Amino acid sequence: MNQLPNTAVPALERLADTLHDAQASGLPVVAPGFELSLDDAYGVQARLLDLRESQGERRTGRKLGFTSEAKMAQMGVSELIVGFLTDAMALEDGGSLDLGPLIHPRVEPEVAFRLGADVPAGSGAQALEAAIDAVAPALEVIDSRYRAFKFNLAQVVADNTSASRYVIGPWSPIEGDLSGLPVALAFDGEAVAEGTTTDILGGPLNTLPRLASIAAEREYDLPAGSIILAGAATAAVPLTPGTAVRATVSGLGSVGFQVN
Ligand code: OOG
């Protein structure tokens, strides 16, 4: 037989394929047993994006993770990470989320930015900040493809930072530094998590230089219209069927969806 031994298939490609299949099937996988560098992990993530684009999905932006103490403490990691967003992950404000294809989804209240101009790779923090034209309250649904949400930093980067779905509320122009705004997450009208926008790196605008440096290092552009999720202000809360979910960011408004 001329069959190639398994080791001939690069382990990183196999990891990307495994994570892609887990996301599509809703069946979790065990985190890889081999040492994964952060560089390799971003490479796996880039392959996941290629796989999704080859299936017709379109990039819509980037999301940051571990930008608050609450999230770092919840997950036991301490470095900011970036993942990608696609149109297939977007839910309408006021829409519904089908839990069927998901593994163990959790939701987080966030702040989103929108780019009004192209930011070519390597443009730097000032260009990115200058290109932001609006801010909105947002919700992110994360759904680790790893069993029991158990991973280290490189493993969660490889899994596209657990990105699963996102919902954007009403856009408004940016006024002030956006710090100190109370953030609340409610299930069926009852608060389940609370924080303030200061919990996101002292203010969500402070995430932009970090995104600019990761985008420069990883050599990707951020086209006009891109959405940037600045990361959760609170710990993530597990989703249950039948729940009405709403995030409110004082001064920016609110955003919600219904879980089916
Ligand atoms: C990783 C995603 C973290 C955030 O806002 O901090 C994240 C995870 O917790 O599974 O999106």
108 Cβ inside 6 Å of ligand 1: yes
Q: For residue 30, what is the domain's CATH number?
A: 3.90.850.10
Q: Hey, which bits of the chain come out as E strands?
A: 59-65, 81-86, 90-91, 96-97, 106-115, 132-142, 163-168, 182-187, 190-196, 227-229, 237-238, 244-249, 253-259
23 Cβ inside 6 Å of ligand 1: no
What own/partner pairs with CB < 8 Å and gap ≥ 24 does 92-96 have?
Answer: 92/167, 92/257, 93/167, 93/168, 93/169, 93/170, 93/255, 93/256, 93/257, 94/256, 94/257, 95/167, 95/257, 95/258, 96/257, 96/258, 96/259, 96/260
Whose C-alpha lies nearest to ligand 1, atom 10? 162
Phi, psi of 20 (to 5 degrees): -60, -45
Closest ligand 1 atom to Cα of 151: 10
* Tens digit of each residue's pLDDT (9 = 90 or more) over 162-180: 999 999 999 999 999 999 9
Q: Could you count the other beta carbons within 10 Å of the beta carbon of residue 88?
A: 12
* Tens digit of each residue's pLDDT (9 = 90 or more) over 108-145: 999 999 999 999 999 999 999 999 999 999 999 999 99
Q: Which two tokens stand for residue 2?
A: 């001329």
* Tens digit of each residue's pLDDT (9 = 90 or more) over 145-161: 999 999 999 999 999 99
144 Cβ inside 6 Å of ligand 1: yes
C-alpha span between 197 and 152 (Å, rounded): 26
21 within some domain: yes
* Tens digit of each residue's pLDDT (9 = 90 or more) over 62-87: 999 999 988 888 888 878 999 999 99
| 64, 84, 142: residue to mutate for ligand 1 pocket, most atoms within 8 A of CB | 142
Does residue 7 carry a pLDDT above 80?
no
* Tens digit of each residue's pLDDT (9 = 90 or more) over 242-251: 999 999 999 9
C-alpha span between 155 and 137 (Å, rounded): 28
Closest ligand 1 atom to Cα of 67: 6
2 within some domain: no
1 within some domain: no
106 Cβ inside 6 Å of ligand 1: no
Whose C-alpha lies nearest to ligand 1, atom 3? 65
Residue 71 alpha carbon to ligand 1 centre in Å = 7
pLDDT at 9: 46
Domain span at 236 = 8-259
What pTM does this model have?
0.94
C-alpha span between 227 and 61 (Å, rounded): 4
142 Cβ inside 6 Å of ligand 1: yes
Closest ligand 1 atom to Cα of 236: 9
3 within some domain: no
For residue 153, CA distances in Å to 35, 86, 229 come to: 11, 22, 19
pLDDT at 229: 98
For residue 51, CA distances in Å to 86, 170, 171, 226 come to: 12, 31, 31, 20
pLDDT at 76: 87
233 Cβ inside 6 Å of ligand 1: no
Tell me what ipTM this predicted complex has. Answer: 0.96
The total number of structural domains that make up the chain: 1
180 within some domain: yes
Does residue 6 carry a pLDDT above 70?
no
pLDDT at 4: 44
Whose C-alpha lies nearest to ligand 1, atom 9? 75
